[in-house]
Structure 1
């Protein structure tokens, strides 16, 4: 519930906007004959149980819409209040943004020249995924977006009363469409639908946001007292890039086939080229400068002549247009050089003809030349205003929109290699039983040879064919278009070095290896994903051994030279969700911190920079929380090579569907990373005195958490006291909720785990174990506990953990927990597990209050102001979900499956409505 709160929300304005929207919604309901619903929506007479409404499904939808209206009002209030505060108090007023960041760098004595030198080295990569946490249909999300835009529109003071009334009428029309639109998904979305959603953001949202981000940086730069002219060259700005997992992530996802990956790469490329084409055409319409008034200069003239000759008839046609306007003709030639087939239509096809640009880098060189030719004639404003934004579009999105990562589970790879070995006449079944030493010996021998296991006409087995078919798609795409659109080969559940080395054998099998130095190198990065607590602790040794392997060393050097970088870079992905599910929030967060420190040291010893890929989700339990606080809480040096992070499911719409919110959220990342990197250039790493105590707290928290989930009957309690069975039945993502279909806790993905605890208001993955850890320290060493009390607000890693646990506790509700626990049929199991949870809840709440020196209800006023307008409505929804769950399970137990299935739409609506009220699923 708390993950998206903002300290700058004007709650009075949010309440006014909510009241306005609710009045509009009530009018719509009354116009449609829903008088009883209109009369009993919050805030008026909201205590009537939902089951007493004639149509509970419609009542549930009304509550869901109400919560979305409340969320919109709060989002708009935050956006408008930020604008007002910046206008009144300046850009330096707001935490985490460029104004405050640059001002503090200046105040610490860091010179403008040094900041400007480091800015282009800042690299932030946002990767969009389709993890099943988005409970709302895309159609419904579009109506929400329209409503939000209209809410923003009415902020303008220029409208006459009649025009304001018209905006109000438009709002009511959208609300009626929303009311008449079904909220739930009756079929699981296909991967193609998830891909279209991601491409929508990459094509339509982020390209609009990028120039606004750059303008805000330049405004803050000027406001800090620095020379804005120093940032006029777009190459001097930080780099923002995007990636995607949709169509590439096949970890437990049987629907992501080689054909899906091929379609995804083609779609990404064609949409990227259309994006570039659109911006070049807009640029051409602006640059109508005449050569009769300005000489274009010899470099531009030579390049025009070269392109026109290379393009043949297409070049001559481009030159015949816009005579005496060489800058426009140059852009015409750029357009003609795009690798698109003639006769572009809605169903375009890309090409790779020799006369076309081979990659986006060639186009960037021409755009740089265009900008230089304009500055040479004194047209600086035109160069900065018209050309620089197009350069940034091409620099950011290239000819591929975003890189597509390929992720697969290490166990799947084991099976695939076993099948390849068997097909080659080797002991494939034995490989599955070998220990790490035996595997390493075999892999090292094989990697000395370029010989593949199989011939092209041979078949091995389903897992082997799935891996090789995917890699062949990558090879073919790379040969035809280059590797810019290809991301990393990510190995989830990396537990040993062999889990990474097997990928080189798959690459060898299809030809993804290339000669380099004294052997072969892999064209694409092989990336470990460390997820569990134990794997994170082992990760430094695994990484160091991997980096020292000859194939890895050659591969890193190959890609370093290709990218033209000074140092080798190895990407490492770390998982927040599974480590939390495995060890609880304190152990997860601190183990991730310690692992990053040790991984950085392993990289240093091997002469390699480490680029961390943070697999964060949308809830506190899965790594979310205030962005600026998260960035400050990371170890020294962790952003030296940049930052990569996932944006998953519902968080994509929450943070980026609206332009103002998108700018704000991306600026938090860009400014935060820049500030961290630049500050750390000025000081050496020092060990903080509380780090050993954090190790102890992590251990105690981990022990308490494991005691809970390993207690007899826990899995029964979880399955009966939460709506996990409804969530598993829901159709909110194309991917299954379990990796292999087993009904074990280990096989359950972290997302439905968090989702189900949140729905039942336990939210235990956000706080459980913290109280036990603090209590243990208080008993063992009271003086150190007092030191923790003093430092909990000033040391970012500790503050991040305590604040997140505080938010987790605020999301939980003891009274509602008890009601859900009433669904557990075994009284002994219910009392045992609920007793442990309640005791830890009270313990955690008490100790966090000790740290803050006051009750949470008064200490976190903003959090409680978010909760207050939701509390009564959520209580009604929870009661209705519990009633329906009990009835549904009884029907299934009695074998009345048809009747049970008939209840699913209503149950799904409760999930949607509660998610809307909590502002999160999982």
Structure 2
């Protein structure tokens, strides 16, 4: 009899659902429970049995809800989405462990598979793999998201639920233990129900920083060192000659939160300083706690074990005079290290840690000094018969310090090129009246900027009061310079220029960096990377031309060589290119830009590091990271890759420590595999490229025709989605648009894509593909479909595009979307646009199935299909209620309970979809 592998998942979902139902009954009464249960059963019947009578019944129930009933329903189904996510994560862990226990072959995306494949195929020996990591850089970068900033209290409750499910799964519990576990789960669900899901006031940037730091505390600080240890041990086992291998810190987690100013006026120098301080507090707090525990563990007595002279000297300097530890040199040494780190805490943060040191001590001047003391412990243990002890907590602490330093995570600075342009124009006009920088052409601007970069003389005067924009920008860069002096240069490594479309955009930033001392011409020193962000379709097409011109400037090329190890980072914008040109054209423009950049960089002898500005949704470059990295053009992943992690994807990927570890491992494995592919192994046939260009041209016209050329489309979008509520409900710290108004051109990509996801249309993830393929088949009636089928089979880029589209289309629901469309007041406008969208959706599904050979959507992805089957009956009611709440809000916008209900429903729908933003 075949084992039902998904049975434990269904059992967990039923258990959590039952506990949530019991909680609702106890807290809200039998009538509330009966109402929610009736909604659930009707929704299940409608979703699983395609029962149209059930749909009408469901709509009737939901439309008749009172205001208080609506809030209870929204809360119940939102919490169920979060609990279902926990159950799914636990099931992924369960299945991974089952594979390992059964001795199954390593799965794709694992380090065991990537390293084993490289060695078995003679692509690289263990020593070459170890050398690969010497120059590698793999960095997921957390960014703030206006709809997914969960309170730490909620995250804590979810962590407890996950831990208790894990306990039930891994341990053979006695009847009493099982009852205690169930009671603890009941308490955790009750606490979750009684905990406010949302903050009552507008989110600040600092709230977002706090949320980001929580993932370091729960996942990264502990799991990253374990991942390094696993990789090192695997390589050493493959080649014992490598010995006790210690890889450099190639895998790091970055952050934009507190440094991303593009469109966010609330990110100031003071906010940046506070973000850095909060991060440092988390890092130092972790190290102090680990040292305290390590001191309790290393109780080695000098009469029973030897110690190095350096260790004995360290113990002697500790001023730990306790007679109980007089013959325990390791404990005394750790007391001294703790005292110095405690003093560092006081120096950097202005406060003492909660647990005081045994004596006063000098603070560490830098991370290296702290690391040196830990190395003394390590070497002494290694040399005196205690090597096994060095491989425990001390190993992880030493690794954590090398990865996280005193800064925890490097914060990227980002600003729009238009702002830099205005600031430079003002600085030049004050210093050299009549310069008229804004009236200069590109050649004239570059000449002025290069002239400034050739001298160490600053432009800004301390005796001049500049505009608020200029003062704010200068203050940010000065704060970055101060952060380097305080926390080390690793605290801020990158300055990103949004909307880069010229060489002068890069040179403007260079001049501003010089103003703060981050670029020092006389020393040929550049302390941060200048990172252009190419976002629109036109900008992507011009990216390689701009970088070629930049590398042709002798002064800049020398800066790269002397100060940045001949490496240049380039960021590619998935979100704005999608909003500009649609899913298919965006993907193709990105692919072509990467290939052209690879050629340009190779010609100039510069190493390329691509930074992928991906969102959670497919419309913003989302989708499985493993496939996305392997689908890059040849040479695009040269051991270095950064990518943004946004929205509810952060919680989904990194909210649970083991799931977080698995996702980090996937990034490393994919980078290794992509970087080490033999040259020419994935040469793309010219016929594929020609077909893709033709498809892109037609898809672009279809997308632009709908979004930018259809009269009234802007009104349709604002009335049929939650965009106006996202813009006006105090969600997140960042405005929804870069400018005042409703123009789609000015709208930020996150709320654009997120709004389509909330109404279950997912339009940015597929629109235009159906029209493109239909036109292609008409033009190529004989072999058109066969060629597309071959492209899907043999070209990883095209296969990845279609796989992501398959996922998005499966999460689309036209019946639910039609209810959102009904919010559009103009009936003719509503009908004409929705009918176009519906026709394109049908065409897209039809051609996708024809190319992939599937009978239905997600036939090739049973895991995701199962997930949708399990969660959508509980997600659908949230959408139906959200529509009703939107209608009521727009009729009586002053009702705070309705506003709260909309916000909770947004959170719940996002949690149910898992990659909507």
Asked if Structure 1 and Structure 2 have the same fold, meaning a TM-score greater than 0.5 normalized by the shorter chain, the answer is yes
Pick which of 120-129 and 39-48 moved more. Answer: 39-48
Structure 1 499/678 Cα, relative in aligned 2: closer, same or farther at 3 Å? same
8 Å CA contact retained: 2:149, 2:208 = no
**Aligned twin of 1:563:** none
Structure 1 886/739 Cα, relative in aligned 2: closer, same or farther at 3 Å? same
Question: For residues 891 and 40 of structure 2, what CA distance do their matches in structure 1 show?
Answer: 34
**Aligned twin of 1:674:** 672
8 Å CA contact retained: 2:407, 2:490 = yes
**Aligned twin of 2:9:** 14
Unpaired runs of at least 5, structure 1: 1-7, 561-566, 892-896
**Aligned twin of 1:24:** 19
Question: For residues 906 and 480 of structure 1, what CA distance do their matches in structure 2 show?
Answer: 44
Offset of residue 332 of structure 1: 4.3
Pick which of 359-368 and 243-252 moved more. Answer: 359-368
Pick which of 285-294 and 800-809 moved more. Answer: 285-294
Equivalences for residues 375-774 of structure 1 within 5 A = 375-427=382-434, 430-516=436-522, 520-560=524-564, 567-680=565-678, 686-689=683-686, 690-710=688-708, 711-774=710-773
1:498-553 deviation line (CA, Å, top 9, x unaligned): 11101122122233332456xx4432221111111111111111122223324422
The two structures, once aligned, show a CA RMSD in angstroms of 3.0
Structure 1 698/319 Cα, relative in aligned 2: closer, same or farther at 3 Å? farther
8 Å CA contact retained: 1:521, 1:551 = no
**Aligned twin of 1:141:** 155
8 Å CA contact retained: 1:218, 1:228 = no
**Aligned twin of 2:62:** 50
1:449-496 deviation line (CA, Å, top 9, x unaligned): 322223212211111101111111122232344312112111111111
Offset of residue 671 of structure 1: 1.7
Structure 1 642/598 Cα, relative in aligned 2: closer, same or farther at 3 Å? same
Structure 1 685/651 Cα, relative in aligned 2: closer, same or farther at 3 Å? closer
Question: For residues 673 and 321 of structure 1, what CA distance do their matches in structure 2 show?
Answer: 51
Offset of residue 220 of structure 1: 5.4
Question: For residues 252 and 217 of structure 1, what CA distance do their matches in structure 2 show?
Answer: 40
Pick which of 614-623 and 151-160 moved more. Answer: 151-160
Offset of residue 773 of structure 1: 2.2
**Aligned twin of 1:126:** 140
Unpaired runs of at least 5, structure 2: 44-56
Equivalences for residues 297-376 of structure 1 within 5 A = 297=308, 300=310, 305=313, 315-317=318-320, 322-338=325-341, 339-341=344-346, 345-346=352-353, 356-376=363-383
**Aligned twin of 2:52:** none
Equivalences for residues 887-902 of structure 1 within 5 A = 887-891=888-892, 897-899=893-895
Question: For residues 846 and 805 of structure 1, what CA distance do their matches in structure 2 show?
Answer: 12
Question: For residues 531 and 348 of structure 1, what CA distance do their matches in structure 2 show?
Answer: 48
**Aligned twin of 1:72:** 86
Structure 1 607/913 Cα, relative in aligned 2: closer, same or farther at 3 Å? same
The reply on whether 1:87 has 2:101 as its aligned counterpart is: yes
8 Å CA contact retained: 1:11, 1:74 = no
State the SS of the aligned residue for 2:546: helix
8 Å CA contact retained: 2:684, 2:795 = no
**Aligned twin of 2:284:** 273
Question: For residues 218 and 42 of structure 2, what CA distance do their matches in structure 1 show?
Answer: 42
Offset of residue 582 of structure 1: 1.1
Question: For residues 843 and 36 of structure 1, what CA distance do their matches in structure 2 show?
Answer: 45
The reply on whether 1:919 has 2:889 as its aligned counterpart is: no
Pick which of 261-270 and 314-323 moved more. Answer: 314-323
State the SS of the aligned residue for 2:636: coil
8 Å CA contact retained: 1:137, 1:185 = yes
Question: For residues 573 and 58 of structure 1, what CA distance do their matches in structure 2 show?
Answer: 44
The reply on whether 1:905 has 2:900 as its aligned counterpart is: yes
In the superposition, the TM-score normalised over structure 1's length comes to 0.90
Question: For residues 622 and 333 of structure 1, what CA distance do their matches in structure 2 show?
Answer: 50
Equivalences for residues 113-192 of structure 1 within 5 A = 113-134=127-148, 136-192=150-206
Pick which of 646-655 and 265-274 moved more. Answer: 265-274
Pick which of 820-829 and 39-48 moved more. Answer: 39-48
8 Å CA contact retained: 1:762, 1:813 = yes
Structure 1 349/746 Cα, relative in aligned 2: closer, same or farther at 3 Å? farther
Structure 1 596/822 Cα, relative in aligned 2: closer, same or farther at 3 Å? same
Offset of residue 742 of structure 1: 3.0
Structure 1 684/355 Cα, relative in aligned 2: closer, same or farther at 3 Å? farther
Question: For residues 865 and 19 of structure 1, what CA distance do their matches in structure 2 show?
Answer: 15
State the SS of the aligned residue for 2:660: helix
Question: For residues 858 and 571 of structure 2, what CA distance do their matches in structure 1 show?
Answer: 38
Structure 1 126/836 Cα, relative in aligned 2: closer, same or farther at 3 Å? same
Question: For residues 273 and 131 of structure 2, what CA distance do their matches in structure 1 show?
Answer: 40
Equivalences for residues 817-832 of structure 1 within 5 A = 817-832=817-832
Question: For residues 211 and 889 of structure 2, what CA distance do their matches in structure 1 show?
Answer: 33
Offset of residue 754 of structure 1: 0.8
**Aligned twin of 2:51:** none
8 Å CA contact retained: 2:498, 2:534 = yes
8 Å CA contact retained: 1:218, 1:231 = no
8 Å CA contact retained: 1:287, 1:328 = yes
8 Å CA contact retained: 1:82, 1:94 = no
8 Å CA contact retained: 2:770, 2:844 = yes
Question: For residues 608 and 709 of structure 1, what CA distance do their matches in structure 2 show?
Answer: 39
Structure 1 913/261 Cα, relative in aligned 2: closer, same or farther at 3 Å? closer
Question: For residues 151 and 853 of structure 1, what CA distance do their matches in structure 2 show?
Answer: 39
1:146-178 deviation line (CA, Å, top 9, x unaligned): 222222222133321222122212222222222
8 Å CA contact retained: 1:702, 1:769 = yes
Structure 1 378/173 Cα, relative in aligned 2: closer, same or farther at 3 Å? closer
Structure 1 236/921 Cα, relative in aligned 2: closer, same or farther at 3 Å? closer
**Aligned twin of 2:47:** none
Offset of residue 238 of structure 1: 6.5
Structure 1 28/575 Cα, relative in aligned 2: closer, same or farther at 3 Å? same
1:886-907 deviation line (CA, Å, top 9, x unaligned): 333344xxxxx535x5532233
Structure 1 259/216 Cα, relative in aligned 2: closer, same or farther at 3 Å? same
The reply on whether 1:35 has 2:30 as its aligned counterpart is: yes
Question: For residues 571 and 228 of structure 2, what CA distance do their matches in structure 1 show?
Answer: 28
Offset of residue 327 of structure 1: 4.4
Pick which of 711-720 and 910-919 moved more. Answer: 910-919
Question: For residues 30 and 319 of structure 2, what CA distance do their matches in structure 1 show?
Answer: 69
Match of 1:102 among 115, 122, 138: 115
Count of matched residue pairs: 885
Offset of residue 401 of structure 1: 0.6
The reply on whether 1:258 has 2:269 as its aligned counterpart is: yes
Question: For residues 527 and 367 of structure 1, what CA distance do their matches in structure 2 show?
Answer: 35
Question: For residues 522 and 320 of structure 1, what CA distance do their matches in structure 2 show?
Answer: 52
**Aligned twin of 1:4:** none
1:732-787 deviation line (CA, Å, top 9, x unaligned): 31111112223211111111111111111111111111222222322233425413
**Aligned twin of 1:868:** 869
